Chains A and B, each alone.
Chain A
């Protein structure tokens, strides 16, 4: 049942959005940064992907462009999930913010900014959310060593 629904959605997306792959029960699409906002807007308005589940990034050091920004969307009408991936370079890790489309994007983008240093153009509030003011670096980048500590108060002697 799910496979049939996925195939139907895949056919439907082929016209407007583009070629979508099918990986482990999920639609997967690579998107160019320039068309991200339009693609997600179409998915939301035309195809019922109305719930933004998650935004995160993947660090591939040594690859150019270095980062994948990953979006997961869910359709509360069709019960299907789609994953979007946008590649951004280390020199300018910027993508458009989805805050105009989804309220939920605000917190996700703040976290992703904290952890990977991705800049979301159009999100006016990228203050630290899981980290704190003045934290130096982005801990989920592969070049941030796990044992690097930045305590706010001294350890007791």
Chain B
């Protein structure tokens, strides 16, 4: 009998859209085993000299059946999985997922939870943008800039570890609230880190903004117009870098964004430089929002008082039978979410992060689909690469901030 694996080993997992041309056109393969492609993206490029004429982008090397897996876990047990979508800003994934399930349950979260989620979303956005800017500068050889930015990011990660117990995969959101309230001394430390952020991001502006080498490598490289960006589904900083001030936090305000004072920074040209600069300005806006939120943060409970989804107090679980059963049913069967469907989206650091969820009633999702910005951006990446130099592939790819976890799911 034929051994299926033996034949499969011979086959290439990827079929390129084109081969070497007749007129001496060279085809090169970049990734997935390349540090700049995160080990998950494969770019097959046809070259005319140093110029890229055609590109075929492949993803899927990090596909782990996220959506299939979610269909056999309780609504609560999905939360650790969504951390691993965009692992640079896991909290935003947590909150976006919880918001979608809360919409199905028809729950209004408490005021303190709403402000805390907004604050932590903006804090995560800073960490995510720091990662992206640091990595894309390092890929152009700016090692100092990388170390400055990653140092601040690490302060943030350590600070979030104080809050959640984990550096990257937080699992801090809960359906109907949050895992627990802020620990003592968390907010004073927050202000210390924001002050450090300002010092070091100021240095990055000084190092990069008018740096001749940086401008030569990024200005007019990977140019995108607004119309093209929308046609290819680009959202987030990439769409804004083309000059369109489209931001869900302003356009369809959710959480506490309607009460905050902030600007939507936009670019002029839609090139690599603008993507860098938009991200830098967005971080400043986020810090501005965090400071407002610290002042606005109300007292009160962080979880809704709803026995359908929030665990009863431990003291009661140990002392009365109703709470014990409630606890048991929530853990074993999961929250019973009424039948229905919802698409709920938030402005993640990379763009529109949407959760499309179908419930048929019961403790597990019937279907859970993620509209991941990185996946859509990989579909349009060839528009940014074609027509430019081979050496521009890495910086342009870096400026898109592809996150393998959410791209491949």
Contacts and interface: CB of A to CB of B under 8 A. Distances in A.
Interface string A81-96: 1010000000000000
Contact of B379 (A26, A53, A103, A152): A103
Contacts of A131: 60, 63
A147 to B, nearest CB: 10
A90 to B, nearest CB: 17
5 contacts: A104-B233, A140-B67, A146-B65, A151-B8, A152-B8
Interface stretch (B23-31, B138-146, B370-378, B388-396): B370-378
Given A106-B379, A129-B60, 7 more contacts: A52-B233, A56-B356, A70-B356, A76-B230, A127-B17, A133-B11, A151-B8
A134 interface: yes
A130 B352 contact: no
Q: Which 10 A-B pairs have the closest CB atoms?
A: A104-B233, A107-B379, A132-B13, A130-B60, A54-B371, A79-B251, A103-B232, A130-B63, A56-B369, A103-B231
Between A52, A102, A130, A139, the greatest number of chain B beta carbons within 10 A of the residue's beta carbon is seen for: A130
Nearest to A28: B341
Contacts of B5: 151-154
B13 A104 contact: no
Contacts of A133: 11-15
Given A133-B15, A153-B5, A153-B9, A104 B380 contact: yes
A140 B228 CA distance: 31
Contacts of A104: 231-233, 376, 379-380
Contacts of B69: 146
Interface in B231-277: 231-233, 235, 244, 246, 251-252
B196 interface: no
Interface in A21-58: 23-24, 26, 50-54, 56, 58
Interface residues of B, number: 51
B331 interface: no
Interface of A: 2, 23-24, 26, 50-54, 56, 58-59, 70, 72, 74, 76, 79, 81, 83, 102-104, 106-108, 111, 115, 125, 127-134, 139-140, 144, 146, 150-154
Given A53-B233, A56-B369, A58-B358, A125 B13 contact: no
Interface of B: 4-5, 8-9, 11-15, 17, 58-60, 63, 65, 67-69, 71-72, 103, 228, 230-233, 235, 244, 246, 251-252, 340-343, 345, 352, 354, 356, 358, 367, 369, 371, 375-376, 378-380, 383, 408-409
B244 A107 contact: no
A60 to B, nearest CB: 9
Contacts of B409: 130
A139 B375 contact: no
A54 B355 CA distance: 10
Contacts of B67: 115, 140
Nearest to A101: B231
Given A130-B408, A133-B14, A140-B68, A103 B103 contact: no
B59 A103 contact: no
Contacts of B408: 130
Given A58-B358, A127-B15, A132 B60 contact: yes
Contacts of A72: 343, 354, 356, 371
A6 B357 CA distance: 21
A146 B72 contact: yes
Nearest to A133: B15
B68 to A, nearest CB: 6
B356 A54 contact: yes
A103 to B, nearest CB: 4
Contacts of A103: 228, 231-233, 379-380, 383
A85 B342 CA distance: 13
A139 B246 CA distance: 35
Nearest to B231: A103
Contact of B244 (A76, A102, A129, A150): A76
B14 A132 contact: yes
A106 to B, nearest CB: 6
Contact of B68 (A23, A53, A146): A146
A26 B5 CA distance: 46
Contacts of A74: 352
Given A125-B17, A133-B15, A51 B230 contact: yes
Contacts of A54: 343, 354, 356, 369, 371
A53 B367 contact: no
A26 B356 CA distance: 12
A102 B13 contact: no
Nearest to B65: A139
B54 to A, nearest CB: 13
A52 B233 CA distance: 6
A70 B341 CA distance: 12
A129 B59 contact: yes
Contact of B9 (A50, A81, A108, A152): A152
